[in-house]
Structure 1
Amino acid sequence: MFQEEVLYSVALRATPHIGDVNFMKLIEAAGSAKEAWLLSKKLLKEIPGFGSRIIKDIGNEEFLKFAENELNFCEKNNIKILLRHHNQLPKLLSQCDDAPAILYQKGEYDENLIPVSIVGTRNMTPYGKAFIEELMTLLKDKNLLIVSGLALGTDGCAHTEALKNNISTVGVLAHGLHLLYPSQHKKLAKEMLERGGAILSEFTSNEKPDREHFLQRNRIVAGFSGLTIVVETAFGGGSMSTVSYANSYNREVYALPGKISDPYSQGCNLIISQNKARIISKYQDILDELGLNKEKTNIPSLFEPEMITLNQEAQPIYDCIAKNKQISLDDLSEKLEIPPFKLLPILLDLELKSYIKAHSGKQYSIA
């Protein structure tokens, strides 16, 4: 019976104009994918929001035949088909309103591990690489699962360094599981599968790595985890969409700051300044967020320690935050009679130096 539901689910989702949201509406109205597939056009039109254009191909045997071929492909290649309406998606991902109706999975991973998503530019610099290498050594033996997109650059480095430290890792693809893009990562993907990891995709075996698929894929990377770490990204980098998804899901985002002159740090600096991500001033920030390694000794810092010596402009701001323990940008502006736009660059500078911490809702406290 379940295999039959899988068949009709794949057929229904493959139908034009039936995206993830409409798919779930049909399931809610009909009770199952099979029942939705067999509904008459008259009854389908009675579902709010479903007109002739949307329902046109529901019940078309062409898509049922496609689904049969897809199931055969998955069976031959040891690919599991996970259905959202049967509560088979990864736990956190299933909580997202726009989660995929169907997810294809090759390989197995321990669902009890804590997922952490790591994203960033394909043009990773030595700075970003060194950060990932050090972070992975600290995350070793912490029962974590590293999630990324198996792309070149940051993604590949995150997967590779995870494996070096015996950390399971999952790759989310922007195409069907009939191929592996980029081809340079075929060996890496194979090792991930052999060592307690998996490869996931919402795309069927006839779908190629089109540009829009990568942006669509990013919501799964963001939704999979409670924490997303942005290593390096330019202003318009694809990682910015992952941040937007994570923010919309109320998930924590941390970003690695860098020099304002470095193009692949500019996106990170921007989302930090906009309170879309918390700043990573030391590796302990990540461990604290995950509730790991409460001992704060012997954890390396990203920056050299220095004495707190503030200029006349920054000192009253720091003192006001210290006095109030935690204060919003608006309240800080009112107390000091300084416009917010003048406060923000000083606050960012204090945050980069690890003197203060930024919280959601533009709240600040002493670090």
Structure 2
Amino acid sequence: MSSEELIYAMALRSCPMIGDSTFRKMLAIAGSAKEAWELSGKELSKIRKIRKSVTESLGNPVYLEKAIQEIEFCEKNNIKIIYALQEKLPGLLSECEDAPVFLFQKGNFDREKNNISIVGTRNITSYGRKFVHGFLEAAKEKSIQTISGLALGVDTCVHEESLHFQIPTVAVIAHGFHLEIYPAKNRKLAEKILENQGAIFSEYSSQQSFIKENFIQRNRIVAGISPSTCIVETAFRGGAISTATFANNYNREVYALPGDINHKYSQGCNLLIAQNKASAIVDIAKLITDLGFQQTKEKQLDLFEDFKDYSKLDKDQKSVIEVIIKTPGIQLEELSEEIGIASYRLLPILLTLELETYIKTNSSKQYFPI
């Protein structure tokens, strides 16, 4: 773990005024963390909006020593250091422009599972609890992995219900692993997550102090890992709104549970739906279908098993829908390569199949069977 490049990278990232964006700009110019550490003031001036304080901290051995101490802390406490320039971040997080350079991991993250982020208010109601329970019960056989923030309320419900249905669950916390798990009420829950093949992530090192702004930053990771985010209950200005905003900015699917217009913790969800920033969750079975979880291996074996009449389809249409059934969520270029039909020829075929309700597409231009 303690390679020279990792030490220099951690030292560089711990310098004052060097955030994730500046770090990446510096490495783009220097080529490596070690070379970035040795950049001259003239070379640094090539980086747009670089601060003078950055040049003052570079080369200071104090930060190299801090990096070594951090690596030793992680090794001692069974914490994996994921360095984004050497290893892919979990889920779809690497696709996010503002993804962290470093992510610290405890436990197991299954990269083969279908990730779904579920968040909401700390003031969950029986309505929200019933939805979380019902959704996870229905989706438990779909090889899913839930992502949430270990906060009280909806997050806690998501983690607990996941454990109940033996679904791996992942918590993203807003502080380093040197601190006791926050909130204190969920310390036992955090232990259970790790005991049951789940994971806990943090972007904060053991040398960083906790500030309340960390919660918002944490939410971008929750949204960034998964292709879809569900907002269960939230007020107009609830923290879950920021998670939905991040997910929308990442061009991910967002779903919200509608509720009573007079209920405070349904108003945020209703607003997201009204502003077309989230799709309304109207039925658990439909949600699972929309998420692309509906196809089991057994179902895929018999491509034309359901009531759809495929006899009227021509050869190309049948080829297209066969691949979409086998690979739900496939995108245009992948479909073109798989079938051997040019993209411009596929588009009218796909449109016809969609209009005749054989398939559907989402905002990410992925195609699913109906």
Q: TM-score range by the shorter chain?
A: 0.7 to 0.9
Q: How does 1:237-248 map to 2 (within 5 A)?
A: 237-248=238-249
Q: CA deviation at 1:208?
A: 4.0
Distance apart, 1:42 and its partner CA? 2.8
Question: How far apart are the structure 2 equivalents of 1:280 and 1:55?
Answer: 51
1:360/1:88 CA distance change after superposition, 3 Å: closer
Question: 2:276: which partner in 1?
Answer: 275
Report the TM-score when normalising by structure 1.
0.78
Q: 2:58 corresponds to which letter in structure 1?
A: I
Unpaired runs of at least 5, structure 2: 297-359, 365-369
Q: What is the correspondence of 1:186-335 to structure 2 with a 5 Å cutoff?
A: 186-293=187-294
* Matches of 1:192 and 1:126, distance apart in 2: 23
Q: Is the 8 A contact 1:24 1:85 kept in 2?
A: no
Q: Which amino acid aligns with 1:250?
A: N
- 1:65 corresponds in structure 2 to 65
Task: Map Cα deviations across residues 221-270 of structure 1 (whole Å, 9 max, x no partner).
Answer: 01000000000000010111111110000000000000011100000000
Q: Which residue of 2 aligns with 1:144?
A: 144
Gaps of 5+ in 1: 296-356, 362-366
User: Residue 82 of structure 2 contacts residue 89 of structure 2 at CA under 8 Å; is this kept in 1?
Assistant: yes
Q: Would you say the 8 A contact 1:104–1:203 is kept in 2?
A: yes
Correspondence for 1:163: 163
Kept in 2, the 8 Å contact 1:121–1:233? The answer is yes
Q: Distance in 2 between matches of 1:13 and 1:138?
A: 43
CA deviation string 1:107-134 (max 9, x = no partner): 1121111110001001111111111011
Q: Deviation at 1:272?
A: 0.3
Map of 2:184 onto structure 1: 183
Counterpart residue type for residue 83 of structure 2: L
Is the 8 Å Cα contact of residues 228 and 246 (structure 1) preserved in structure 2?
A: yes
1:53-132 equivalences in 2 (<5 Å) = 53-132=53-132
Q: Distance in 1 between matches of 2:97 and 2:168?
A: 27
Which residue is equivalent to 1:8?
8
Question: In the TM superposition, what whole-angstrom CA distance separates every residue of 1:72-98 from its partner, at most 9, and x where no partner exists?
Answer: 110100101111111331141000000
Sort the Cα spacing of 1:135 and 1:50 in 2 relative to 1 into closer, same or farther, 3 A: same
SS in structure 2 of the partner of residue 67 of structure 1: helix
Measured after TM superposition, the shift of residue 185 of structure 1 is 1.1
Q: Which amino acid aligns with 1:93?
A: L
Aligned to 1:304: none
C-alpha distance in 1, partners of 2:47/2:271?
A: 43
| Percent of aligned pairs sharing the same letter | 50
Equivalent position amino acid for 1:277 in 2: A
Query: Partner residue of 1:37?
Result: 37
| 8 A Cα contact 1:181 1:209, kept in partner | no
Structure 1's 51 and 187: CA in aligned 2 closer, same or farther, altered over 3 A?
Answer: closer
Q: CA deviation at 1:53?
A: 3.0
